[in-house]
Amino acid sequence: MRRRLLLLTAATTALVLTALLVPLTLLTRSHAADRATAEATARAQWVAHAIGPALASAGERPTAEQTVAGVNGDGLPRTSLVLGDGTVVGPGHRSGGGAVTDAVRLARTGRAFTYEPAGGGRQVLVPVHGAADGTAVVQVTLTERQLYAGTLTSWLVLAGIGVGLVLLGLLLADRLGARLVGATRGLARTADRLAAGDLTARAVPDGPPELRLVAGELNRLAGRIDELLRAERENARENAADLAHRLRTPVAALRLDAESLRDPREARRIAEDVAALERSVDDVIRRARLPLRGDACGDLAAVARERAAFWLPLAEDQGRTFLVDAVGIGHPPHQTNPRPGLCPPSPKLSASLEQGGPPSPLTAQLPNAGTGNGPDSRRRPDEPEEIPVPVPPDELSAALDALIGNVLDHTPHGTAFRIAVGRDGAGHARLTVADDGPGFPDGYPETGARGASGGGSTGLGLDIARRTAEDAGGTFTIASGPTRVTLTFPLAGTPSAPPTPSG
CA distances from 270 to 259, 265, 267 (A): 9, 9, 5
Q: Which amino acid is at 445?
A: P
Show Cβ contacts of residue 66 under 8 Å, excluding neighbours closer than 6 positions. none
Which residue from 177, 174, 204 is spatially nearest to 188, judged by alpha carbons? 204
C-alpha span between 387 and 369 (Å, rounded) = 15
Q: Worst-scoring range by mean pLDDT, 64-73, 145-154, 436-445, 467-476?
A: 436-445
Q: Is 111 helix (H, G, I), strand (E, B) or coil?
A: coil
C-alpha span between 246 and 240 (Å, rounded) = 10
| Pairing of β 417-423 and β 388-389 | unpaired
C-alpha span between 468 and 393 (Å, rounded) = 11
Q: Is 101 helix (H, G, I), strand (E, B) or coil?
A: coil
More confident residue, 339 or 470: 470
The pLDDT-based confidence of 54 (bands split at 50, 70, 90) is confident
Q: Are 236 and 220 contacting, i.e. CB atoms less than 8 angstroms apart?
A: no
How much is the pLDDT for 328?
43
Largest CA distance in the chain: 164
More confident residue, 332 or 308: 308
Task: State pTM to two decimals.
Answer: 0.41
How much is the pLDDT for 298?
86
Mean pLDDT of the chain: 77
Partners of 348 in the beta sheet?
A: none
Residue 330 above 60 pLDDT?
Answer: no
The pLDDT-based confidence of 501 (bands split at 50, 70, 90) is very low
C-alpha span between 109 and 93 (Å, rounded) = 21
More confident residue, 105 or 1: 105
Dihedral over alpha carbons 441, 446, 447, 453 (to 10 degrees): 40
Residue 99 above 70 pLDDT?
Answer: no
How much is the pLDDT for 107?
86
Residue 83 above 90 pLDDT?
Answer: no
C-alpha span between 295 and 29 (Å, rounded) = 75
CA angle in degrees (0–180, nearest 5) for 464-466-471? 95
Q: Worst-scoring range by mean pLDDT, 96-110, 148-162, 185-199, 275-289?
A: 275-289
The distance from CA 121 to its chain's CA centroid, rounded to whole angstroms, is 62
Partners of 487 in the beta sheet?
A: 431, 476
Q: Worst-scoring range by mean pLDDT, 244-253, 300-309, 321-330?
A: 321-330
How much is the pLDDT for 460?
60
Question: What is the average pLDDT across 166-182?
Answer: 85
How much is the pLDDT for 92?
57
Q: Are 280 and 460 contacting, i.e. CB atoms less than 8 angstroms apart?
A: yes
Residue 487 above 90 pLDDT?
Answer: yes
pLDDT digits (tens, 9 = 90+) for 400-459: 988 998 888 888 888 899 999 998 877 789 999 998 887 776 655 544 444 444 444 445
How much is the pLDDT for 287?
67
More confident residue, 163 or 96: 163
How much is the pLDDT for 229?
84
Element housing 120 (H / E) = none
Dihedral over alpha carbons 326, 330, 336, 337 (to 10 degrees): 170
The neighbour count for residue 140, using CB atoms within 10 Å, is 26
Which residue from 489, 367, 495, 390 is spatially nearest to 430, judged by alpha carbons? 489
Q: Are 431 and 418 contacting, i.e. CB atoms less than 8 angstroms apart?
A: no
C-alpha span between 462 and 455 (Å, rounded) = 12
The pLDDT-based confidence of 276 (bands split at 50, 70, 90) is confident
How much is the pLDDT for 419?
92
The pLDDT-based confidence of 493 (bands split at 50, 70, 90) is low
Residue 288 above 70 pLDDT?
Answer: no
Q: Which amino acid is at 114?
A: T
C-alpha span between 130 and 58 (Å, rounded) = 12
Partners of 389 in the beta sheet?
A: 298
**Up-side HSE of residue 212: CA atoms within 13 Å toward CB?**
6
**Up-side HSE of residue 20: CA atoms within 13 Å toward CB?**
11
SS3 string, 367-422, reads CCCCCCCCCCCCCCCCCCCCCEECCCHHHHHHHHHHHHHHHHHHCCCCCCEEEEEE
Question: What is the average pLDDT across 184-199?
Answer: 87
> Which among 58-72, 86-100, 196-210, 298-312 has the top mean pLDDT?
298-312
